[in-house]
Amino acid sequence: MDTTPTPLAPLFLSHGSPMTALEPGEVGPFWQRLGAVLSGAHRPRAILAVSAHSLAREPLLMAAARHTTVHDFGGFPEPLYQLRYDAPGAPALAQQVAGLLQSAGLPVHQVDEGGLDHGIWAPLRFIWREADIPVLPLAFPPNWSPAQLLALGQALAPLTQQGVLVYGTGSITHNLRLLFGSGARPALDAPEIPQSAAFRSWFAERSARADWPALADYRQQAPHAVLMHPTDEHLLPFYVAAGAAGAEPTGVRIHSSLTYGCLGMDAYAFGAGAASLAERLDTAALPA
């Protein structure tokens, strides 16, 4: 009998505006179903989180024993600042991850400090509301190329066999000038602009084909790439999560929705377990 553990499919989740934590729209029920499905299969023993809002000059593990909730934004309604997600940390996992990165010839640093930015906690408070799964944030260099970040993710691949969820959080499209450039934010349910639709479709198609040469060169090959990502820190966690599924993984879009006409909320799973996760999500009911 094959006793090899089923790997946990790494995930990339678009986290949207900080207001998503209060007004999640279509993505809220998806996050709730995702938590129910993952808990029903094999609940992660820990989460390695790679967020567009936790950046460093070289890979940096935030190995606090316990995390506080970081409200890394301003000008939002007061109830948003009352939300908490004070999850346990994962110092022992940090030692293991540091070893994996060092073995791959990658630089890595570690601090006994922590804190979860809104890119991490906003989705997690819907997925596992109890905040009882240890979280290890891994800050990454935003000047690394997609190819470098795929390699960073590949160094993390053994974790997926050990009950660790590799979780990238950013945004499939992210141009704040389109949101605020006219001085008034578009309606939450505004129709999608054509450039966003073309970009999101291109990413879904190339991910399903595992066309990583094209995906790694997205700024040259994807339609409207620079418009959708004037800077690409919000897309880069996609590549770390993908790399954690191994060489040339298939990427399955497990959720597709939109806010403000241009801010995509798409989610992806990668690797051997991605298709079965998508199937389970299609039939899952919302938790009671």
Domain boundary assignment for the chain: 11-283
Take residue 275 and report the two structure tokens written for it: 């298709």
Span 70-94, average pLDDT: 96
Span 200-224, average pLDDT: 98
Residue 80 gets the label, from left (phi > 0), alpha (psi -120 to 50) or beta, of alpha
Q: Are 46 and 134 in contact (CB under 8 A)?
A: yes
Picking from 154, 127, 114, the residue whose alpha carbon sits closest to that of residue 247 is: 154
Domain 11-283 has CATH 3.30.9.60: no
Provide the pLDDT for residue 213.
97
Q: How far apart are CA 151 and CA 242, in angstroms?
A: 10
> Which DSSP letter does residue 159 get?
G
Picking from 271, 268, 270, the residue whose alpha carbon sits closest to that of residue 13 is: 268
Q: What is the pLDDT of residues 3-54, one digit of tens each?
A: 456 789 999 999 999 999 999 999 999 999 999 999 986 799 999 999 999 9
The residues, any chain, with a CB within 8 Å of residue 141's CB and separated by 6 or more, are 55, 56, 57, 58, 59
Span 269-280, average pLDDT: 94
Q: How far apart are CA 92 and CA 36, in angstroms?
A: 26
